[in-house]
Structure 1
């Protein structure tokens, strides 16, 4: 396996890094402090086509690959994890359309998502259907030329701000998981509304809230694939989403490592920089090793996706390991900063709070372990 990035991937990495530092980073602390949705940052992403990195040019995307997608999320996460998360989740409904949508749906909806003119959301989670996605209660009934949707979703990223929602609902409860279907619902349609937005520990700038469907009527043409294919569509998109989640963890961890190294070189105790102390050196060495291992797992999963090979297991491994590395590395970064690590005037406490969220989003660490174990024991 070639561990080197291609010239185009390196160019993208440098471009995203520059954009992130100049146009995203200045708002990061305020976004976290206020918990406000970073609309200006999203506009920046759209301006540079960073919302459509892994999607074909013919559908408005940048025509890059999944490795490039991971690079983009990682670089954004190093300066503002909330913005990176919004970007990553925006891609999930687009993945649903890319993999399972009709040509008409791709032309109409995927193009708008990929070119950044519309923001997307993936509406699967419900109050009683989190990790157990097959337990969703939202229903969709075909009445003439329309589906009528009723139910509620929660913790939906980009809720209220997204323009295009891929919503999962049961079209036949007697079939259980095989009765779940996927639908396109546009903001503004009658019967679609939004409830409470969560006030969260981490990733505070991402809007995670309720999506409410009350006799929400949509054209029958908004069904993605066929009835009963919803769970398959969701799981295929989530495999790719986990690469984004892993990259998010890598970016947060790298930011914490960078901050810890900078502080250790400048902080003087006992007449010398604490970077000269073996206790700190060993912590930095372990942090760096973990970050690099998480990055390689993430790139490995992304490359398998690019090669058209099965990568469910590898994506789960990357998401699991990167999220746990992010937590460990950020906690160590806070420790190296000492008392300053607890201060909101320094970014490492934000990194630590954001890292905790990564172990929950796009499937908890426990779900990733189940996915990996089932693959290993099959």
Structure 2
């Protein structure tokens, strides 16, 4: 039978790790008190300094393996980081995607893509904060999205519209979901969808327009 015993030495090690992470995040958040966030809210501004501090401390690269410049922690540590940020009264919504959106590149990207993008995401020189899924005519019904990508030689030409793409203004890269096989040519609605890694720095002004929605 498989060993289902919880080994105390492993549990203690994880408990120590969690405690250290909480303490470190708590100390960092102490430099960004309530007035910092109230001022940002009044000015409808982005917490650039806070996000940089998290990046420099390695928290936003927690899930990126060390071989790609990250910290190489697991999901438990990542969850604790986000939980503690909110526990301290700060706002992880401004940056949480930088932690996990890169998972698509890590899991499905080529070796070349991993080497090119992951170290820069880990050190913050590339911001992968945006995930383009929701559209004006498709919210939770993702399979009905209308954005299409058509092959043109070695490239794809993408046409469509996304909405509620959080942090698009503050992202260099975006994961974009588009249909590469028409809906009437697939057996299941979930087929024919592809994920693209879009360099927004090149796309802005070259077919890509971003319009903020103030809430």
After TM superposition, the score normalised by the length of structure 1 is 0.49
Residue in structure 2 matched with residue 197 of structure 1 by the alignment: 212
Residue in structure 1 matched with residue 115 of structure 2 by the alignment: 107
Residue in structure 2 matched with residue 343 of structure 1 by the alignment: none
Residue in structure 2 matched with residue 75 of structure 1 by the alignment: 84
**Deviation at residue 36 of structure 1 after TM alignment:** 1.2
**Deviation at residue 26 of structure 1 after TM alignment:** 4.8
The reply on whether 1:157 has 2:166 as its aligned counterpart is: yes
Q: Is contact 1:136–1:170 with CA below 8 Å preserved after alignment?
A: yes
Residue in structure 1 matched with residue 104 of structure 2 by the alignment: 96
Residue in structure 1 matched with residue 195 of structure 2 by the alignment: 182
Residue in structure 2 matched with residue 360 of structure 1 by the alignment: none
C-alpha distance in 2 between matches for 1:185 and 1:80? 33
The reply on whether 1:51 has 2:51 as its aligned counterpart is: no
Mark the CA change 1:97 to 1:135 in structure 2 (over 3 Å): closer, same or farther.
Answer: same
Residue in structure 1 matched with residue 39 of structure 2 by the alignment: 30
**Deviation at residue 80 of structure 1 after TM alignment:** 4.6
Q: Comparing both chains, which one has the higher relative contact order based on Cα–Cα distances under 8 Å and sequence gaps of 6 or more? A: 1
C-alpha distance in 1 between matches for 2:155 and 2:73? 36
**Deviation at residue 187 of structure 1 after TM alignment:** 1.9
1:12-46 CA distances to partner (integer Å, 9 max, x unpaired)? Answer: 11001100112465521212232211112111111
Gaps of 5+ in 1: 201-378
C-alpha distance in 2 between matches for 1:55 and 1:114? 7
The reply on whether 1:119 has 2:134 as its aligned counterpart is: no
**Deviation at residue 196 of structure 1 after TM alignment:** 2.6
**Deviation at residue 178 of structure 1 after TM alignment:** 0.6
After TM superposition, the score normalised by the length of structure 2 is 0.84
Greater C-alpha Rg: 1
1:221-253 CA distances to partner (integer Å, 9 max, x unpaired)? Answer: xxxxxxxxxxxxxxxxxxxxxxxxxxxxxxxxx
**Deviation at residue 189 of structure 1 after TM alignment:** 1.6
Mark the CA change 1:140 to 1:81 in structure 2 (over 3 Å): closer, same or farther.
Answer: farther
Secondary structure at the aligned position of 2:161 is classed as: strand
Of the three residues 61, 69, 83, the one matched with 1:60 is 69
RMSD: 2.0
Secondary structure at the aligned position of 2:31 is classed as: helix
Q: Is contact 2:63–2:100 with CA below 8 Å preserved after alignment?
A: no
Residue in structure 1 matched with residue 145 of structure 2 by the alignment: 136
**Deviation at residue 81 of structure 1 after TM alignment:** 4.8
C-alpha distance in 1 between matches for 2:34 and 2:70? 24
Gaps of 5+ in 2: 1-5
